[in-house]
Amino acid sequence: MSKRLQVVLSESEFDDLRAVAEDDGLTVSEWVRLTLRHARRQRSTGNIEQRLAAIRAAARHAFPTADVDQMLREVEQGYEPS
């Protein structure tokens, strides 16, 4: 279901918005929806310090690694009956 959002702008603000939207080949409504979606995606989620702490904690660990093909062979060997 769609919801309507009403935003009150001065006439000059609306004229500026209309000009920008027209430059992009969009209606004002389309331009506003795209701009709001973009702003929502750009908004940071979570605490940056918590994120950095998690990355630093993970970086302190040393796990065995191998060539991808070798790891896949070893996984497949684990599925074979002994």
> In which band, very low, low, confident or very high, does the pLDDT at 35 lie, cut at 50, 70 and 90?
very high
Q: How many helices (H) and strands (E) are present in the chain, helices listed first?
A: 4, 0
Q: Domain of 55? A: 11-60
Whether the pLDDT of residue 11 is over 90: the answer is yes
pTM: 0.54
Q: Cα separations (Å) of 65 from 26, 35, 61, 74, 78?
A: 50, 43, 12, 12, 17
69 located within any domain: no
Total domains, the chain: 1
5 located within any domain: no
50 located within any domain: yes
80 located within any domain: no
Alpha carbon distance 24, 28 (integer Å): 10
2-11, 32-41, 60-69, 73-82, range with the lowest pLDDT: 73-82
1 located within any domain: no
Given a contact cutoff of 8 angstroms between Cβ atoms, the answer to whether 16 and 24 are in contact is: no
> In which band, very low, low, confident or very high, does the pLDDT at 45 lie, cut at 50, 70 and 90?
confident
CA 19 remoteness from chain centre: 28
